[in-house]
A and B are shown apart, each in its own frame.
Chain A
Amino acid sequence: MQKEEFTTYHPITNIIFFLGAIILGMFLMHPVYVVISMVMSLAYLFTIKGKKAFKELAYMGILFVLMSVINPIFNRMGVTVLFRYLGRPFTLEALIYGIALGGMLVSILCWFACYNAVMTSDKFIYIFGKMIPSVSLILSMILRLIPNFIKKTKQISQARQCIGMAGNASENKMEKLRNGATVLSTMTSWALEGGIITADSMRARGYGSGKKTNFAIYYFEKRNIILICVMGLLLAGTIFTAVMGGAHAAFIPNIEMTWFGDINMFGGAIAYAFFLFLPTFLNLKEKIKWRVLRSRI
């Protein structure tokens, strides 16, 4: 994976973008908006993951087709009947609605895939920590324990095999299950004992002795403020035009939607596209900057 520019921004900047992209993505069902969201999310996903993105796209493609087909099967409303099967109408409007829905879902999943790459666990915990510090601390503790426990589970089951208590040829399904349960309970016993020590270590370091602060290693520099302002303007533009009816689209029973002639629709789509393009843009900008810098050497 190459260095991704947007990841280096402050978690709050990151989360504002993703909340905006995902919530707007769910609300704006206008086909043009759906296409914008899909294109931009794919562009960003490829920026982050490169060729690896194809792997994730495979199952999204299946989902897309499935959603497009399922909707007209259940949704029988719509005026243009394409064909009837066993007396059930299969309408064009429901099909288009399904395609729009599938497109929306795919773009949301793409945004989440980007989110998962950008919002690493420590950023996630930071955002949580701002709101609910104990929960954020416990999340951090859990994330620390999991790899430990996986390792220990392996150790215990190997230790039991090495004294002939598991993995024998004569073992049946039920014994296997019982063995699994024994390993899990041994691990639990070990883990809880460790938990007591962890608790002691926390108290020894002053946990619960008074007011607690939350330390973060993130810097909120000027570029974050600028980016948040830009995002705010574009978001406001998108939302305002949408409220003015710019993103209006109805599919059933008749397809009716605003088109580019409408100034609200046109302006909104542009604001929306620019907003969603921001992280990809930052990466492009950085790439060009470095190319120029290198060429000067």
Chain B
Amino acid sequence: MNKNSKKGLIISILVIAIAIPGTVALSYLFGDRKLYIASVIIMILAMVPFFVSFEGNKPDARLLATLAVMTAIAVVSRVAFIWAPSFKPMAGVIIMTAIAFGPQSGFMCGALSMIVSNIMFGQGPWTPWQMFCYGMIGFVAGLLANGKILSDRHVIRTSVISFFIVVILSSLILDTSSVLMMTTTVTFGSAMTIYLAGLIPNILNATASALTVFLLLKPLTAILNRLKKKYGMNI
């Protein structure tokens, strides 16, 4: 990791640490509908440091091409399962990319997969939330992989943790966006109903992702290691 990306990482963490309490504070100040708009703005702001540090690193051609390939595969895996609502292997592909290339690439892969799928299926007010959610899935997986908690040596452990990453982050971010969008005044009852309703699709999605990780982590690592060796890639 070079100096530039380290700086980016620190900024990222700072913004995230400020963004979430910021949302809470803003909601307290404005109340009502402004809460939703404020939160969307904060979502976008929170992603800025990631994109800026990616840009600042001047990604070389191989990183760019490899990341493009992995992101396209993530999107294709979502398209391939278009017939199965909620059951999407996409987050699994993003997690594996994060394990192989680190938190920053993980974030980019997640966030870009979501923009691109929305370019294909239609953008909406949900786009920033989805981008942030899947970006964070990649980012967290990348951090855990750096801490050797996720690795190709422990396929089962990695799959189980992947399951929880997806469930927790989807509930925390995506369902919160539904809560903010669907209701006028956030009450415990309305929030709980939406969170509970969201849990089933989230679990389905996480199961698909965990299965993907379980089945593909080993072969994918072998493919990537071979490429790293053959072409002297250091990513």
Contact = CB atoms under 8 A, between A and B. Distances in A.
Contact present between A and B (CB < 8 A): yes
Nearest to B77: A184
A252 interface: yes
Interface residues of B, number: 57
A116 interface: yes
Contacts of B220: 185, 188
Interface stretch (A104-112, A161-169, A288-296): A104-112
A111 to B, nearest CB: 10
B185 A149 contact: no
A287 interface: no
A196 B215 contact: no
A185 B181 CA distance: 38
A188 to B, nearest CB: 6
A185 B219 contact: yes
Interface stretch (A47-55, A201-209, A216-224): A201-209
B4 interface: no
B69 to A, nearest CB: 4
Interface stretch (A131-139, A237-245, A256-264, A267-275): A131-139
A75 B187 contact: yes
Contacts of B54: 132, 134-135
A27 B37 contact: yes
B72 A145 contact: yes
Interface stretch (B20-28, B58-66, B139-147, B165-173): B58-66
Nearest to A191: B69
B33 A26 contact: yes
B216 A187 contact: no
Question: In this complex, which of A23, A71, A121, A146 has the most chain B Cβ atoms within 10 angstroms of its Cβ?
Answer: A146
Given A101-B184, A178-B215, A138 B227 contact: no
What is the predominant secondary structure among interface residues of chain A facing chain B? helix
Interface stretch (B11-19, B121-129, B154-162): B121-129
Contacts of A229: none
Nearest to B111: A135
Contacts of B79: 146, 150
For the complex of A and B, list the 10 residue pairs with the smallest distance between their C-beta atoms, beginning with the closest.
Answer: A74-B190, A145-B72, A181-B215, A141-B68, A199-B61, A199-B65, A195-B69, A202-B61, A195-B65, A185-B219
Interface of B: 33-34, 36-37, 51-52, 54-55, 58-62, 64-69, 71-73, 75-77, 79-80, 89, 108, 112, 115-116, 119-120, 122-125, 181-185, 187, 189-190, 193, 211-212, 215-216, 219-220, 223-224, 227, 231
Interface of A: 22-23, 26-27, 29, 67, 70-71, 74-75, 77, 94, 97-98, 101, 105, 108-109, 112-113, 115-116, 119, 121, 124, 132-135, 137-139, 141-143, 145-146, 149-150, 153, 177-178, 181, 184-185, 187-189, 191-196, 198-200, 202-203, 207-208, 251-252
